[in-house]
Structure formats: C-alpha cells, structure tokens
Structure 1
Amino acid sequence: MGPEGKTLLNIIILGFGFMFMFTAFQTCGNIEQTVIKSFNSTEFHGSGYTSMAIIYGVFSASNLIAPSVVAVIGPQLSMFFSGLVYSGYIAMFIHPYTWSFYTASVVVGIAAAILWTAQGNLLTINSTDATIGRNSGIFWALLQFSLFFGNMYIYFAWHGHVHISDKDRQTVFISLTVISLVGSFLFFLIQKPEPEATPSEASESLLQTESTESASIVKALQLSVTKEMLLLSISIAYTGLELTFYSGVYGTCIGAMTQFGDDAKSLIGLSGIFIGLGEILGGGVFGMLNKCNRFGRNPVVLLGLITHFMAFYLIFLNIASDAPIAPEEGTHLQAYITPRYTVALLCSFLLGLGDSCFNTQLLSIVGFMFREDSAPAFAVFKFVQSITAALAFFYSNYLLLHWQLLIMVVVGFLGTLSFFVAEWVVVSSRRDTDYDSI
C-alpha cells in the first residue's frame, strides 16, 4: 500500500473510532436527563443539564492546555486516553453517585479538548493541501453516523417503556461503555504516515507547537477582539445555544410528553436519528456548495435561520412549556395544538438541517478570514461555542421551554445579521484584492 492509501486508511480508521465513541457519548447526552429523573436513589441528586454545563465550561478553558498535551504524548495516545475518560463517564451511569457524576463531568471536559486537538493534528498529518477537503468530508460523514446507531438502539431498547428501570438503564449503559471502548482501541490501528519529502518537517512542527504554544494563546486573545471575530462571535454563540437544545434539551422534552403515550421514551432515540439525517443532508449539500460558491455564504445561513425559526415555532405549538424541567412521570400540561410525534420528528430534522447550515458556513468563513492563523482562530471559535453551550445547559435547569426558544430566536436573528456584515467584509476585501491585482 502506497503512502496515499495508508493516509486514507488512517482517516477512515479515525472516522470509525470517533463514530463508535460518539455513538456512545452522544446517545448518553441525549438520554441522561431522562434517565436521571427515573433514579429511585436517595443518594443521587445530579442534573444532566448541570453535568453538560460543567463539561462544556471545562472544555472551553482546557483548549488552552490541550495543544501542549498532544505535543508531548502524541495524537494517538492523546485520543486513546481521552477515549478511556469518555468510557468512564458513560460507565458511571451503571451505578451513579452525585460526586462521581460531577467529577467525571470535569474530567471529560478536559479530555474533550485534548481529543479534538489531537483529531485536528492527526487529520493534518495525514492530509495534503489536495486531500484535506476530501479527508475532512470523510471524517465528518462517519462522525455524523454516530447519531444513527446509538439512537436506533435506544428506540428499540425502550420501545413501550413508560418508566426506565434500573435494569433498563444498566443494560443500555453497559452496552454504550463497550461501544465507546471499541472506538478508543481502534486508534491503535492508525499507522504513522510516511514522510514524503522532508522527514524532519514533522518533528520540527512538533517542536514549533511546543515553543509557540504561549504565542498561540496570545494570538487567540488578539484575534478574539478583531472586528471580524467579534462580528462572527454572535453567530458562533448561537451555534452553542442551539447545540445544547438539540443535543440535550429537545430529547428530554419529547420523553416528558405523556400525550405521546407509551412510546414517548423510545421517541428520544427516533428524534436523534432525524437530527442526524438533517445534519448529514445539510453537511453534504452545503459542504459541496462551498466549492461552487457563486452566491456567497449568506443564502445558506439565511436558510438555516428560516429552518430553525420554523422548527422553534412548531416546537412552541407542539410541546408543553414545562417539558424541559418536568418530573419523571412527565408533563400533563397541554401544548397549543394536540401534540403529534410526526411534528416533533419533523422539528428534529429541521434542527439538524439548520445546525449544519450555520456550522458549515462558519467553518468556511473562519478558515477563509484567518487562513494565516487558523489554529488560534478555531480555538476562539470552540471557546465561544462551548462557553455559550455551558451557559445554555445551566439555564435549561430552570427556564420553561418558551423562554429557551425566545433566547435562541433573538440570538439567532442577531447572529445572522452580524454574519451578513462579516460576509460583506470578506466580499469587499476580495474585490479590493482583485482590483489591486489588475
């Protein structure tokens, strides 16, 4: 197998490793608030929303130390040990205690930052300028398939279950822990790519990573106050808020709807599958549109906003206002229309589709605007996104559904306007460059 074949195989193994890990972890995040409500334990007083707030808060801060860890122990071991931490978090649900739940949340936040830094590093090492787009696409597609398999498992495992018993919970989380461990061990199959031209480059770049770590932190701080990044940060903040909503809150709302009957709990899994369908469709279509970008990024972002506003309006009508914070037996409040699970699943699809509209265009514009400083720019991106996700998970403990939707409507509208201005800055600077080159 030639160097090209070996690097492609590495990317596929990387994608499958993440698919297994996040099949387990995303499913865990989707169901944990519902599962926690069903505990009969007097010694457990945790909240799934608070746990996720801690994970994202620690994740954002840990982006500062993650590059140093990856530089010292290498991307492969970084991903393996981070994967073990993810598996530990999932395994904790087999027999949970409040202290172990929140301790695991802190450690997973640190592991997440190291995992994603290592993933970016490994993707770069195994790609050239010509293959980076293709390799990113393969990785993204495999990662998004994680939304299918775990949620499909939940749908069949919980079908017709009104109450999640200890045995139901233990069976699911033992299975998810094993799936997560398989993903971690897959990383050991990744082989070192053969350096094609200059063998010293890889070691040089590793040394540069260590020596410029403090410089990249300074650069990230400088970029965070530039006009372009401040404009984009409102859109990025919005992606953090809606990430919280579709990955943790909306599934809990569906599971709390007694009007959906005995299938309410298993519908959480089906909702996750429809979010995944929206993500994969949007990621594929809008990822390709970036190549033939005649109309710019604004129409795709506007489509994302309209899609999300449609979803929010239908959710407002279809789901009871106290669903995010309802007790284990669910909510008996009436929504504005007779609740239909078909409408709930349509909203799941729209949430995934809109999310991919925003994320593909934000990744594209940040990569274009900050081409020379992509690493610190994406560190700022992840920092803003994870801080707002942490904030949203925190307020999800207390706010009724209509207030959560209102916050997303306001921030989404402002974020779209500020994105339009940022895109206009890009287009006008491109025109200036074209004019100067004549």
Structure 2
Amino acid sequence: MFDIIDNFLREHAPSWYRTPQVQTAVLGLVFFWVFAAYTTIQFYAASTYGSDLAADSVSAIYLTFTLTCLISPGIVNKWGCRRSMFYGVLGYASLVLVSLIYFLCGGTIWTRRLVVMGGAVLGCGASILWTAQGRLILQYASRAELETNVKPTDDGKKMSKSNSATQSGKLVGMFWAIFQCSSLVGGSISFLYYNNKPQGSTTLYALFLVFILIGALFTQTLLPPEILLMTPTTDTMNNVEDVEETSTELTPLTVNDNAKYASEALPIQTRFSDDLSNQSWTQESLGTLKLFFTQRMMFLFLLFFYTGFNQPYQQATFGNRFFTRRTIGVELIVFHLMEIIGAIVCGRLLDFESPTVTRRKRAIACLVAFIVINTTGNMLAAIQEYAAKQNGSAVAHDIADMSVVLPSLAFACWGFSDAQIQVFCYWLMADFFTSGSDHSRAVGCYKCAQSFGTSIGFYCIPTSRLSEVSQLTFSSLVFIAGTALAFSQLPPS
C-alpha cells in the first residue's frame, strides 16, 4: 500500500501541494480526524465505561504513552515519519475496536480487560504518532525557513540570507488550530448524541472508527520534507552552489535539500524517501536518554511537565464542579476556540520579522504574555475555590446565569495560554535542535514529560488524594517554577 501511494504522489502531486504550508495543513487534518473521535471518547469515558473502567483505561493510556516516549524517537528515526504515523493512528483504532466488542458482549469481565489492553496499545501508538508529528512539522519549518532566509539578490544571480526570520511558530500555530477544530466537531457530535442517550453504542463507535481510519489514510498523503518545493527562479537554480555556501547554518537539511532542488535528474526513488537512521535500536534509545539528561532538557522539564499537568484540574476538577452538565459542553467550545486563537496569535508573535526584535526578545514576550494570561485564569479559579470553601460546596453555574462569566473567563484564559505554551515549546525545539534525528528525540522527551504530567494530574483528581485547592496550588507552583526555569533556556541574543 505504501508503495502504491508513493508512486501516485510522485506522478500526480501538484507543485502547490508540495509546500510546507499545505503539508502542515494536511498534517493538521490527520489529527483532526483522529481526535474528533478520541477527544469525545476520552471526555465521556466515565459515562461510557463507568468510572472504574474509565480510570483504568486512561491510566493504561498515559502509562504506556510515557514509557514508550523513551523509544518512540528511535522508531520514528528508523521507520520514517509517515509509516510511524500510520501505525500510530492504528493504535487509536485499537481502543475503538475493543470498545465495539465491549458493547456487543454486554461488558463482561474479559471485555473490560480488553478495553484496558486497548488503552495500553493506544498509549504506545500515541507516543509514536506525536513524536513523528513533531519531527515532521519541525522539518517542514526548516524548509519554510530556508525559503524565507535565502533569497536572490538584486542581480538575481546570487543568494543572500537572513538569520532573523523563523517559520516554526506560524506552522505549529496553523497545525494546532486545525487540530483543535477536532474538539469542536467532536463536542458537537457528542452533544447531539449524548443529549438523547447517556452511554456509547456500536453505532457511535463505528463512526469513530471510520474517522480514525480516515486519519490513518491521510498520513500517506503527507510528503517527506526532502521533496517539498520552494519558489526558486531559473537563475537561482543555476547558482545552487551559492546557496550551499551561504545557508549551511540555517538548517541541517540545507545542503542535501538544495542538491535535490538543483538536480532534477536524481532518481525519484532517492528523492522520495524519509531520512532514515542507520543506528541500532540500542544506539537510538541511548541517544534519547542522553538528550533527556542534558542541562537544557532538564531545565525545561518542569515546563514540559506543566503542559500535561494543567488540564486534568482545569477541565475535570474545576469544570465538572463549577458548571452544570449542559454548560460544560459550551465551556469546552470556549476553551478550544481560545486554543485556536492562541495558537495563531502566538505563532505570529514568535515569527514576527524585525531587524531589531531578536528571537530572544520574541521568546521573552511570549513567556511574559503566558505568565499574565495563565495567572489571570488561576486567580479567577482561586476566587471560585475560595467561595466554594466558604459555602461548603461548589456552585454549578449555568450558561443562562450571569454568575457563569468569571469561571468562563478562567476557561478562556486557560485555553489561550495552553496554546501559547504548546506552540512556544515546539518553536524552542526548532531553534535548539537541527537534525531530523534530534527533532525526534527532543519531541520524544517533551511528550514523555508532558504525558507524565497528565498521568500525575489524573492521579491527583480524587479529593481523597489531593483537595481541590491543593490541586490548584500545586498546579500554580509547577507553572511558576517551570516558567522561571524556561527563562534560562532562551535563544541567544
């Protein structure tokens, strides 16, 4: 199947399709289809499976996700991004398949165990999928930056470069916005369905399976970064040696990529392939562990951890207590709309081109904005928690009441700030790491810390383990410490 699709793309992919921007949009569509199904499954897990089975399944997902992140960079480096993403998406399909069996067989003991096993398989697939996505989008950004930074001079015969322009923020922001649209679609489907029927069914999960399989097929329409087109003129194509001399610092793909552009006579089989690693599985795993324990990644660990640790409290502990059941759906729409806006705004801020605004200044501005907006959300939540403590219990606000405004603003701030910090982390990795293999390892470390944070966040949700106020306090402390440490790991002036 892979060869058939490759041959078709070789012969029929138009030039407009072979650009970093279009490929980023296609990458977003992969995640749109997959997570339109999975977001709904995860959010309504307690209603669908019951609280105990839902907790066991989610725990299995994030446990295997965290552990597999240590080896997923090696898998991606050796298999390639598109193949890894295809199999990673199928991991999500495994949970849907076992859920269909669970519904058909009436929730027996062995089908309950199958659901937990399906969650474990999903976690393994998720780590591979997200690692491949991270590497691919960072390499697409490298391609886009090569086009932006290396431009023809006035005489049209030589190339010049600029080191200030970046594209990773815009592309990651575009991907994140398209990806977050899946939550809006999934929320709409779940609202229409669960409004009439409180539990899942074979019909609903069959629809989810179709969505995920469409996402798996979309992975094969992605193009390797090596064959994406820029917009060179005829003269610049004839002066590719000048490009090689002036752009070697821009991206690890520069020399090989420009050679590919310059020589259309290269065999198409050579040009249509991922940059695969020749290292052994042991060497790949050791490479990831070595990167994980570098000073840079250790200083960024708490920030990475926070990107996963924040939402269990925000959406589960806070959302389920301070909103009525029908209002939660609206609040999630608000949250994800702000994710979309935040991703676009932050991406443009980080890639803002100016001779006086360096990458370091852009990074500082982004972190300061993140601190202000996220702190606002936490303070609004603290006001609600204080009132709940005074009253003895939380008041569930309805969408028809004016009292819903303050907790809704907290949700809006959290959605915007979450997109900010997610885009910032990818942008930072694009700036710090150059080779495709290091992109995989960096994203693997990031996702490992993030997944670990999510699993700890879900573990702390029961108030018997950590009270609601303590959860908010702990989350705020991690936020403050992680952001403070991140200021020591910024691009140089």
Partner of 1:228: 296
Q: Which runs of 5+ in 2 are unaligned?
A: 1-11, 148-166, 229-259
1:155 to 178, 191, 194: 191
Question: 1:53 aligns to what?
Answer: 59
Q: Which amino acid aligns with 1:7?
A: R
Structure 1, gaps ≥5 residues long: 39-44, 324-331, 431-438
What residue number does 2:471 align with? 404
Letter in 1 for 2:191: Y
Measured after TM superposition, the shift of residue 388 of structure 1 is 1.9
Alignment of 1:121-270 (within 5 A): 122-123=136-137, 128=143, 129-130=145-146, 133=168, 135-159=171-195, 165-166=198-199, 172-190=204-222, 196=261, 197=263, 198-199=266-267, 200=270, 205-206=275-276, 209-211=277-279, 214-246=282-314, 249-250=316-317, 253-255=318-320, 264-270=324-330
- More deviation in 149-158 or 105-114? 149-158
Change in Cα spacing, 1:59 to 1:300, as seen in structure 2 (3 Å) is same
Distance in 2 separating the partners of 1:355 and 1:236: 11
CA deviation profile, 1:204-230 (whole Å, cap 9, x unmatched): 832xx1426544433333333333222
Alpha-carbon distance change, 359 to 124 in structure 1, aligned in 2, over 3 angstroms:
closer
The 2-side partners of 1:377 and 1:301 are apart by: 20
The equivalent residue for 1:29 is: 42
Aligned-residue offset at 1:37? 4.4
State the Cα distance separating 1:304 from its structure 2 match.
Answer: 1.9
Query: In 2 relative to 1, CA 59–273 (structure 1 residues): closer, same or farther, beyond 3 Å?
Result: same
State TM-score, norm by structure 2: 0.69
**1:413 aligned residue (457, 480, 486):** 480
Residue matched to 1:335: 394
Whole-Å Cα distance in 1 between the matches of residues 112 and 405 of structure 2?
Answer: 36
The answer as to whether partners of 2:174 and 2:343 remain within 8 angstroms in 1 is: no
Q: How many residues align?
A: 397
Summarize the Cα distance change of 1:59–1:210 in structure 2 as closer, same or farther, 3 Å threshold: farther
Deviating more after overlay: 392-401 vs 114-123: 114-123
Counterpart residue identity of residue 315, structure 1: A
Per the TM alignment, residue 321 of structure 1 is displaced from its structure 2 partner at its CA by 10
The whole-number CA distance in structure 2 between the counterparts of 1:337 and 1:115 is 37
Counterparts of 1:300 and 1:185, CA distance in 2: 36
Runs of at least 4 residues off by over 6 Å: 124-127, 319-323, 336-339
Other structure's SS at 1:297 match: helix
Specify the alignment match of 2:131 in structure 1. 117
Q: 1:308 to 1:153 in 2, by over 3 A?
A: same
Instruction: Compare 378-387 and 19-28 and name the one that shifted more.
Output: 378-387
Deviation of 1:148 after TM superposition, in Å, equals 1.2
Residues 21-68 of structure 1, C-alpha deviation per residue, up to 9 Å, x if partnerless? 111112222222354447xxxxxx4243x4333322211221243345
> Larger deviation: 78-87 or 399-408?
78-87
Q: Counterparts of 2:34 and 2:295 in 1: how far apart (Å)?
A: 37
TM-score normalised by structure 1 residue count: 0.77
Q: 1:367 — aligned with what? A: 430
Note if contact 2:342-2:419 (Cα within 8 Å) is conserved in structure 1. yes
List per-residue Cα deviations over 1:241-273 (Å, max 9, x = no partner). 114444x625xx53456xx5xxx3333332222
Letter in 1 for 2:31: F
The two structures, once aligned, show a CA RMSD in angstroms of 3.5
- Percent of aligned positions that are identical: 21
Structure 2 counterpart of 1:33, one-letter code: A
Q: 1:98: which partner in 2? A: 112
Which deviates more, 176-185 or 344-353? Answer: 176-185
Q: Hey, what does 1:433 align to over in structure 2?
A: none
Pick one of 310, 315, 337 that aligns with 1:277: 337
The answer to whether residue 325 in structure 2 is matched with residue 312 in structure 1 is no
Following TM superposition, by how much is the alpha carbon of 1:147 offset from its aligned partner in structure 2, in angstroms?
A: 1.9
Q: CA distance change for structure 1 residues 279 and 124 in 2, over 3 Å: closer, same or farther?
A: closer
Which digits, 9 at most, give the CA deviation of each residue in 1:122-175, with x for residues without a partner?
A: 55776724466465444333212112111122234344x7xx634x66554443
The answer (yes or no) to whether the contact 1:316–1:401 under 8 Å persists in 2 is no
Is 2:350–2:366's contact at 8 Å kept on the other side of the alignment?
no
Hey, what does 1:346 align to over in structure 2? 409
**Structure-2 change in CA distance of 1:352 and 1:90 (3 Å):** farther
Q: CA deviation at 1:106?
A: 0.9
Distance 1:321 1:156, change over 3 A: farther
CA deviation vs aligned residue, 1:310-355 (integer Å, no higher than 9, x gap): 22333344369999xxxxxxxx963279774443332222111111
